[in-house]
Structure 1
């Protein structure tokens, strides 16, 4: 019985090849045989899932790369039409504008798919440097300022008066804050969106808070699921791809940090990014 318990514990720890030695035909032998059959079935299913996951990741990567060349060709033609829209009829000019807009969205989706494939493959790398995080946050906020104005939302930015130095990948942190801002504007119902930065000796925290539709119970984890939408009927102001929060979560993990969501129905939502100030700091 002790040996069976030890085997079961090792199996639960991920050593899927573990089996209980079966001797004789008593109750313990039958128990061992049943356990081994169950373990073999679980091991096979896990391997099938791993193979499916690898195939899915390869498909995403291959399709994303294969679409780059035709998309570049279509983009060149669309840009030529867009530049000549003043010579077209109103209807054709509007069609050229819509074509360019949809190509922008498609290119964003393609970029996100390529980034997801790199993250899944484990080849994404941090380009770390010591910077003032205030500057990174400011750039992210300014990049969505026009969207905020279109949404009728006021952006409140709360930054410390002194430098907040941290060893980060500025591109990835800026992308996280930009994605969080875009999400807040999509669901903020035109209410103010607040972005605040704080730090102590070990970590830096960025909090993005909106006062919109909020989150229902259980949605705080679901929001980071790829392509998940709380309300599929809602129109996105930012033309998001449905991958922004998933990528943001992985970017936070690459830094050894975490990204958390909280909220309640009708009470808005908040997203908190916490990252260490240096590579040698563990949260």
Structure 2
């Protein structure tokens, strides 16, 4: 992570520095060029204006005399600019400085020709003995056809160069400040980016080690926060997947253990009785018939277990197709109660049916609904020693609510949440007395949901339980999507 942080710092630093240096450099060059040209043109125009003023002052004096020299000296002081006069031969004949050493020297032929033909000339001269270059302008001395020579004004470019030097220094300091500011900004940005990224890396490493409860704690409002939230969402999903995997693994282990247990008990009994019969230990016919009856009962228990397993597997794999038609609930509950009446009477339990006459029909598979109710009634008979079992039904919005209520031992609060699981038995301490596969309620739940219905259970230990099933009526049936 530190390598990535350094890489981010370097990229940001180089990007900012390149931007600052390039921006300030280009801007400085353009400003310098524009400013130099502006000052140069301004100085040139000023010198041309001064030269024309000098020409106007000496226009009527074609010859060099004391009065003319006084005028040149006065203009020199006024304009703070050196003034030369040259004749038609191009020789300097007068200057504004009395001790001027250039008197008698010739000016450049090109300058003299332009001026004598009535044109202005502007040049930049490097005069011996002076460190700074001089800006020189030349205008005709005279007017119209009367050109006596030329007037030269020159001033040092020291002011312009000094201004340029100050500008370059300012740009240099601005560049240095920009570099320092860029470094500070890059350091802060790198820290603000790398810090949450390090947090994300540590959390991702924990998630990679299987700690799916770990979450990224990043308090920003940018793309990094979006990344953190995405990782948190992924971790939540992985945590749920892992929990589901553990649950499925536990269910699988419980399933194998329960199937093994449910098969071993009757098979052990059948094996023991068969060995006794084969060894001739049972000689009396009446005893042999009892053995046969027990073996038949155990075989039927195995057969019921296999049937229930096959039903549950088909339901969970969506291999069960319902043949739905309007079903009269009152008639169906009456027939089921009648079929269980002998078993209930044998235990001294009353079977009651409470269904109103105007109950709407449900839209369902009659045989599967009968299987649902029978499983609930069997469950009620198993855990009820005295009292009654009541089958009731009422209309409730778009459903018919079917209830199977008993006065049995009830179900503890800890077991209520697991009552619909496969092989779960609330009578674990009395399993030898009340035989069952532990699949009946799991099948009920699957069948009810297959009918787009719902189910629930309420129970008070020692007082009894009420299983409720809601199935859609014909008028309001809407398949769930």
What TM-score does the superposition give when structure 2 sets the normalisation length? 0.44
Query: Pairwise mapping of residues 41-190 of structure 1 onto structure 2 (< 5 A)?
Result: 41=210, 42=212, 43=238, 46=241, 49=245, 56=252, 89-162=285-358, 164-190=360-386
Larger gyration radius, structure 1 or structure 2? 2
**Counterparts in 2 of 1:56 and 1:267: CA distance versus 1, 3 Å:** closer
Whether contact under 8 Å (2:405, 2:467) holds in the other structure is yes
Whether contact under 8 Å (2:359, 2:395) holds in the other structure is no
Residue aligned with 1:225, SS: coil
Moved more, 196-205 or 234-243: 234-243
Q: What is aligned with 2:197? A: 29
Query: Pairwise mapping of residues 14-25 of structure 1 onto structure 2 (< 5 A)?
Result: none
Residue aligned with 2:429, SS: coil
Instruction: Render the CA deviation track for 1:140-191: whole Å, top value 9, x for unaligned.
Output: 3233223212222110111222353111011221111111111111111221
Residue aligned with 1:233, SS: helix
Cα distance in 1 for partners of 2:423, 2:252 equals: 15
What's the Cα RMSD here?
3.5
Q: What 5-or-longer segments of structure 2 have no aligned partner?
A: 1-190, 213-237, 278-282
Higher relative contact order (CA 8 A, sep 6+): 1
- Identify the match of residue 467 of structure 2 among 267, 271, 283: 271
**Counterparts in 2 of 1:51 and 1:207: CA distance versus 1, 3 Å:** closer
Instruction: Render the CA deviation track for 1:13-59: whole Å, top value 9, x for unaligned.
Output: xxxxxxxxxx9983311332244345554549937929966x959x9
User: Shift in Å at residue 281 of structure 1?
Assistant: 6.6
Cα distance in 2 for partners of 1:209, 1:145 equals: 15
Q: What is aligned with 2:446? A: 250
Q: What is aligned with 1:206? A: 402
Cα distance in 1 for partners of 2:414, 2:335 equals: 32
Q: What 5-or-longer segments of structure 1 have no aligned partner?
A: 1-22, 82-86
Moved more, 99-108 or 24-33: 24-33
Query: Pairwise mapping of residues 217-228 of structure 1 onto structure 2 (< 5 A)?
Result: 217-228=413-424
- Identify the match of residue 231 of structure 1 among 410, 427, 430: 427
**Counterparts in 2 of 1:237 and 1:272: CA distance versus 1, 3 Å:** farther
Aligned pair count? 239
